[in-house]
Structure 1
């Protein structure tokens, strides 16, 4: 009888003990998705400046897909004579290249740093000046090309409270995966309207799985 009573007490205790244990389900990691804006300097037929924006999504381990829009303008320097002995330099826009690209590539993350390389296909609007005699005529062509990018980004290693106003004022109570990034971007297109530029980039998003 005592054996059955002890067995019953043990069974009831073990059942309630298991029910009282709180099992935390594993948290689903955040997706890796971010947007960035960049300003760059480079060259096409002539030297010029470029700006761009993109949205990227990383999946599996290292696969990266990016949608981007970039604009590049090159300039030539000339001069006009204010007087027969006084030349005055002026800059004339020589060409404008705008590409709308979809790229696929690889991205590797190490702590708070990442490196990525991508290429794809782009629709390009190409505007340029054609000189005929002493006059310039504006031409425009619609092209396709191969866009490419190499990126190095720096971002936070661990979750932190998001801060606004130049990282001074925290605006979230909890530590979050969302944050800023800073980096360098080499980009361009391979087409009839070739260009290549190097610049700095600024981003927002979740840059790794935390």
Structure 2
């Protein structure tokens, strides 16, 4: 129940932020994109992380809502030569971050910080507990610098008219300062509008 209430609060806050930027999006597209990050973490958790984030930028201000899932793989078993992960804990994390993002042609970099709500299911002591944290992240992304046709099937087939909507790829260094702290590095994939393209083609 707590997770649902926290998620609703985040979404309401994020919707208010987006509504404030509607005036800016009349002349050109908004900077609005979704990201997926896959990587590893170290610290109180040692394992893998997968996260999904929704990002909105107004001027140089970046607002992010993020959901993360962390699997702690401190114990590994091997079948012949293949490692098999023995998950000892699983953590769900909801984060709301604010930061600065700067765009230079087809490249951007950002740094953000905020608050997170975490729920860890510890399978060793068979206990589930929740706690708040302070997430921080630094990231870089590459995307198309000008409007182009969107491509499907691994970028092989262009469709429609030139558009600012497109994909991105980048790296993200992130951490969470909390009862269960960690630092991680991951590969980031995105889709959406990563800059204001105006009417340029």
TM-score if structure 1 supplies the norm length?
0.75
Gaps of 5+ in 2: 1-25
Question: What is the RMSD of the two structures over their aligned residues, measured on CA atoms?
Answer: 1.9
Describe the shift of the 1:160–1:92 C-alpha distance in structure 2 as closer, same or farther (beyond 3 A): same
Distance in structure 1 (CA, Å) of the matches to 2:95 and 2:180: 14
Is the Cα–Cα contact under 8 Å of residues 144 and 166 in structure 2 kept in the other structure? yes
What per-residue deviation string (whole Å, max 9, x for no partner) do you get for residues 72-103 of structure 1?
A: 111223669xxxxxxxx864322222110110
Aligned partner of 1:158 among 129, 132, 146: 146
Quote the offset at 1:188 in angstroms. 2.5
Distance in structure 1 (CA, Å) of the matches to 2:44 and 2:119: 16
Distance in structure 1 (CA, Å) of the matches to 2:178 and 2:142: 31
**5 Å matches for 1:46-125?**
46-59=45-58, 61-77=59-75, 91-125=85-119
SS at match of 1:102: strand
Describe the shift of the 1:175–1:77 C-alpha distance in structure 2 as closer, same or farther (beyond 3 A): same
Is the Cα–Cα contact under 8 Å of residues 60 and 102 in structure 2 kept in the other structure? yes
Is the Cα–Cα contact under 8 Å of residues 45 and 180 in structure 2 kept in the other structure? no
What is the number of residues matched between the two proteins? 168
Structure with larger Rg: 1
Is the Cα–Cα contact under 8 Å of residues 43 and 74 in structure 1 kept in the other structure? no
Residue range with higher mean Cα deviation, 27-36 or 161-170: 27-36
What per-residue deviation string (whole Å, max 9, x for no partner) do you get for residues 125-152 of structure 1?
A: 01224xxxxxx43111111111122110
* Mapped pair 1:196 → 2:194: no
TM-score if structure 2 supplies the norm length?
0.78
Distance in structure 2 (CA, Å) of the matches to 1:178 and 1:42: 31
SS at match of 2:163: coil
In structure 1, the partner of 2:173 is 186
Distance in structure 1 (CA, Å) of the matches to 2:145 and 2:128: 46
